[in-house]
Structure 1
């Protein structure tokens, strides 16, 4: 097997999880000071006369809010701020004695349930968690999908499947890729037609199952100098639509190392949070069976860029999209044959 080691560029930025602890009473402030010494990444924020404004600012600035006050005050204050569980911060409410830590909002994806349990453990109190899957000891499908790296665009559909899991105790799944061991309440389906969940990178599925898009595609990109990011984005969108592939399944981009300072390509990768692999002409020229171009060879020293870069970055996977030429961009897409590896979070 041909192995190439690319120069790697990642636009992803990690940040430390931050918690705002917001007390209201004198006793709440004492508990907040105690908690901030126990909980890394936490900051005590005191209200300056307007608790609604204080909570609204903390909502924007922090990953989670730990409110030491009555639940009713919190509910009324955050109601106008609610957007979606994928973006709302976690909200945990504590009484000023630390007896209870209530997971009020974003219990799964936002980490509210885990935070409530952690706060309760630190204070010697009781976590109050009401999400049905946790109470029943069932898999939280939204968390499982996130940990597996699956993108779900049909959020209402996933909610329906989660309801079925709670009501019946199991759901069915069909995958076009090998999967690591998964929870026992997710049952393997022999056919996609009978599945509640379908793991695929293809959009041409009309089977009633909720699609889970794995990171199974690599987009090889060739482009002229100073090609705008928007033009690269449109070319990739067009290639995915034409071949009925999910843009959400694109794991990363790949190109020739001559493009490692290309502004439009780097801007596009950054905007889409897509890592970039770069390969030398010698590495690209080792890939056989790709469409060669005399013009590309003269300009870059590589017989081709998009196709071999995609193949190398995918681990020598098959080409699903042979190079498509646009005025300033060339796109090819290769498939990662085993994209679903066991996440670290599921190994412990």
Structure 2
């Protein structure tokens, strides 16, 4: 987690330096003769995972107000007083990790963590916090409150999952059945009105003709996701054959999505276990009968979940890494 600290007094700066020793990040001095607070906030709201203000809560609230957009994308924001007596998360407590970071910072300086989210206060299952712990993307953040408010009212919520969830399920959380639709769903293929939690565990295998543009790959990727029902948020990496390691369009596509991409030789791909759609044309060009599916499986270390789909000059397949969700946070 990348942190950015700002303090407004010498005492506050010393505390920031102490905290940054355990949770590294940039340290700035605000106020008179320091950085301009509005500029510091705008810059770090975009590039940092957590903003830590050493000073008054009101200063932080006014500074971040113009930038707050969504609990799904806003960074964690924590405020500590300059004496390190209280550690207060004020934004993105669950999805952004502010609650957890506030507790960790508090433990360093002996502060009291001031946690105000209702689910934490009442000891109720927090679906967004759990999703973050399971490396899941929350597809519809606005639906979090439906699940949370139901549990806070002492009522039951139901879930479904493509994977068995180990451990003891939380109080008032039960599997959906023929009589009860899921309130939240752990899946790669969102289809219902439930809150969808999408594990970021998939590798996109890609094959493409020489000179294929990033725009064309992007357009076909959207078609692929729409046709297969696969949530693009499940993709965490790409894979292909080493013949494509200098393919500008493919590299740009991956950069646009912040996907890491791995390349394999034809010999490595041939050794990949599994049943794959074979193409004599691909074999002739690359030396292996299937690039996208084999590359996806090899890079994921898991199983093929979507077989090869062919578009104009592009092929896609998806494999999922092993995934074992657990009820613990």
Deviation of 1:174 (Å): 0.9
Change (3 A) 1:185 1:59: farther
> Could you tell me which of 51, 54, 58 is aligned with 2:37?
54
Q: What's 1:198 paired with? A: 185
Residue 129 in structure 1 maps to residue 115 in structure 2: yes
> Could you tell me which of 142, 165, 172 is aligned with 1:156?
142
Which shifted more, 81-90 or 146-155? 81-90
Asked if 2 retains the 8 angstrom alpha-carbon contact of 1:103 and 1:113, the reply is: yes
Which shifted more, 171-180 or 184-193? 184-193
Asked if 2 retains the 8 angstrom alpha-carbon contact of 1:177 and 1:339, the reply is: no
Residue 256 in structure 1 maps to residue 262 in structure 2: no
Task: Give, in whole Å, the separation in 2 of the partners of 1:34 and 1:96.
Answer: 7
Counterpart secondary structure, 2:196: strand
- Provide Cα deviations, 1:71-104, integer angstroms capped at 9, x if missing partner: 3333233322222223333333333443323222
> Could you tell me which of 173, 178, 198 is aligned with 1:187?
173
Task: Give, in whole Å, the separation in 2 of the partners of 1:319 and 1:94.
Answer: 46
Residue 266 in structure 1 maps to residue 251 in structure 2: yes
Task: Give, in whole Å, the separation in 2 of the partners of 1:263 and 1:255.
Answer: 13
Residue 36 in structure 1 maps to residue 27 in structure 2: no
Q: What's 1:279 paired with? A: 264
Q: What's 2:224 paired with? A: 239
Deviation of 1:330 (Å): 1.9
Note the 1:92-103 alignment, pairs <5 A: 92-103=78-89
The structure, 1 or 2, with the larger RCO (C-alpha pairs under 8 Å, 6+ apart) is 1
Task: Give, in whole Å, the separation in 2 of the partners of 1:112 and 1:104.
Answer: 8
Task: Give, in whole Å, the separation in 2 of the partners of 1:105 and 1:131.
Answer: 10
> Could you tell me which of 164, 172, 195 is aligned with 2:158?
172
Task: Give, in whole Å, the separation in 2 of the partners of 1:110 and 1:316.
Answer: 28
Task: Give, in whole Å, the separation in 1 of the partners of 2:27 and 2:303.
Answer: 51
Deviation of 1:228 (Å): 1.5
Asked if 1 retains the 8 angstrom alpha-carbon contact of 2:38 and 2:63, the reply is: yes
Change (3 A) 1:98 1:306: closer
- Provide Cα deviations, 1:258-301, integer angstroms capped at 9, x if missing partner: 22232222222222122334333234445665333332222211
Unaligned runs of 5+ in 1: 1-15
Task: Give, in whole Å, the separation in 2 of the partners of 1:319 and 1:294.
Answer: 23
Deviation of 1:182 (Å): 5.9
Unaligned runs of 5+ in 2: none
TM-score (normalizing by structure 1): 0.79
Task: Give, in whole Å, the separation in 1 of the partners of 2:163 and 2:3.
Answer: 36
Residue 300 in structure 1 maps to residue 286 in structure 2: yes
> Could you tell me which of 188, 194, 204 is aligned with 1:219?
204
Asked if 2 retains the 8 angstrom alpha-carbon contact of 1:169 and 1:185, the reply is: no
Cα RMSD over matched residues? 3.2
- Provide Cα deviations, 1:206-230, integer angstroms capped at 9, x if missing partner: 3x32222224544321111121222
Deviation of 1:150 (Å): 1.7
Change (3 A) 1:142 1:285: same
Deviation of 1:346 (Å): 5.6
Task: Give, in whole Å, the separation in 2 of the partners of 1:66 and 1:322.
Answer: 46
Q: What's 1:19 paired with? A: 4
